[in-house]
A = this chain, B = another copy of it.
Amino acid sequence: MASSSSYLSMKMYSSSYFSCGFQLGGAATSLRCHVGHPQNSIFLRNEFSTKALFTTKVNVNSSSSVVVRAAMSTDAPAKIIDGKYTAKVIREEIAAEISRMKDAIGIVPGLAVILVGDRKDSATYVRNKKKACESVGINSYEVNLPENATEEEVLKFISDFNDDPAVHGILVQLPLPSHMNEQNILNAVSIDKDVDGFHPLNIGRLAMRGREPLFVSCTPKGCIELLHRYNVEIKGKRAVVIGRSNIVGTPAALLLQREDATVSIVHSRTKNPDEITRQADIIIAAVGKPNMVRGSWIKPGAVIIDVGINPVEDVDSPRGYRLVGDVCFDEASKVASAITPVPGGVGPMTIAMLLSNTLTSAKRAHNFK
């Protein structure tokens, strides 16, 4: 399962943050859904078959029976929202679109990634992005600078990529060495090439009716794309987003509201988060706390998108850890009508949305419809 390494650090949620390593030891804890009831330990589904997507609308009314028909067989009532498969389908669509653009106007999208320093995990993520680009026909440009490079050197490369018409997206691999001002460097990326969608202007446009962001951050975009691809109705539904980060929770809430959901945001200062979450037809959990959302938090029939990818100690695993979401899958899958697994849910969607944003940028730059 080589590809799983590419979203081990999805705990940081962003394609740019792929390198912000996960760590075992202090941060990782051995956790079960039911603490003290080892017989209820999480059954992690590491492999999902990639069969046809659901074709029937997911009805998220608690009062109605669940009408999802999934192609997968599962012993849990909740249907699996298969991010790995969906991301594959999207990559194929992107590849076809790039091929059409190349044939029509001779242009191929380009993504530039700037890597500073020699962190092994960062190098891995950059390599994975490069591989993903290649697989769909996006040209990738990579700059590797030594740990002791200056901020000015990085800014010079960004400026060059900003001016380079062959580059349609620019990613600065995070984290940067501590002697650099991350904000300065990220702000230097042209908004036209900010395929991560983190620029406040993009967030502002996302929040405003009648405005369109140039790019939507990859992970929240991936969450909504999963809901769309699985025909989950959003309009008029109650949605709860757990977590209010700039790169997942906040944009996810804004996206849901744009689609006419009634949105509540639950965060660390929320009293009775379980009570509010239990009202939701759609839950997006992006809080980075292993198994925080329990079965009792979930309204029967709700649809769950679990963004968290948290490593927890597991002596039975050859690696010594396993990955769990923010939602206790074992409990939730007995109550929800549909749920993303971890891994294999939102994780693979992030990189697919990065490719999608890069394609969008290239199409826009060349006015290709």
B262/A266 in contact, CB under 8 A: yes
Give, as a whole number of angstroms, the nearest-CB distance from A280 to chain B: 11
Interface residues of A, CB < 8 Å — how many?
33
B266/A265 in contact, CB under 8 A: no
**CA A236 – CA B235 in complex, angstroms?**
28
Which single residue of chain B is at the shortest CB-CB distance from A258?
Answer: B244
Give, as a whole number of angstroms, the nearest-CB distance from A165 to chain B: 25
A209/B276 in contact, CB under 8 A: no
Q: Which chain B positions have C-beta within 8 A of A254?
A: 207
Q: Told that A202-B204, A260-B267, A262-B269 touch, could you supply 6 new A-B pairs with CB distance under 8 A? A: A200-B208, A203-B208, A204-B204, A207-B207, A211-B246, A262-B267
**Can you list 15 residue pairs at the A/B interface with Cβ under 8 Å?**
A199-B204, A200-B204, A200-B207, A200-B208, A200-B211, A204-B204, A204-B205, A204-B207, A207-B246, A207-B250, A207-B254, A238-B271, A257-B267, A262-B266, A262-B269
Q: Which chain B positions have C-beta within 8 A of A211?
A: 200, 246
Q: Which chain B positions have C-beta within 8 A of A269?
A: 235-236, 260, 262
**CA A335 – CA B264 in complex, angstroms?**
24
Identify whether the interface residues of A are mostly helix, strand, loop, or mixed: mixed
Interface residues of A (CB under 8 A from B): 199-211, 235-236, 238, 244-246, 250, 254, 257, 260, 262-267, 269-271, 276
A257/B265 in contact, CB under 8 A: yes
**CA A238 – CA B240 in complex, angstroms?**
13
B267/A264 in contact, CB under 8 A: no
B263/A265 in contact, CB under 8 A: yes
**CA A209 – CA B203 in complex, angstroms?**
12
A209/B246 in contact, CB under 8 A: yes
Give, as a whole number of angstroms, the nearest-CB distance from A199 to chain B: 7
**CA A94 – CA B245 in complex, angstroms?**
35
**CA A207 – CA B199 in complex, angstroms?**
11
Q: Which chain B positions have C-beta within 8 A of A267?
A: 257, 260, 262
A208/B246 in contact, CB under 8 A: yes
Q: Which chain B positions have C-beta within 8 A of A201?
A: 200-201, 204
B200/A205 in contact, CB under 8 A: yes
**CA A208 – CA B205 in complex, angstroms?**
13
A257/B236 in contact, CB under 8 A: no
Question: Closest 9 A-B residue pairs measured CB to CB?
Answer: A204-B204, A200-B204, A203-B204, A264-B264, A260-B269, A262-B270, A208-B246, A200-B205, A201-B201
Q: Which chain B positions have C-beta within 8 A of A238?
A: 271, 276
Which single residue of chain B is at the shortest CB-CB distance from A245?
Answer: B209
Q: Which of B199, B210, B264 contacts A262 (CB 8 A)?
A: B264
Q: Which chain B positions have C-beta within 8 A of A270?
A: 236, 262
Which single residue of chain B is at the shortest CB-CB distance from A199?
Answer: B204
Q: Which chain B positions have C-beta within 8 A of A244?
A: 209, 257
Which single residue of chain B is at the shortest CB-CB distance from A236?
Answer: B269
Which single residue of chain B is at the shortest CB-CB distance from A203?
Answer: B204
Q: Which chain B positions have C-beta within 8 A of A207?
A: 200, 203-204, 207, 246, 250, 254
A236/B271 in contact, CB under 8 A: yes
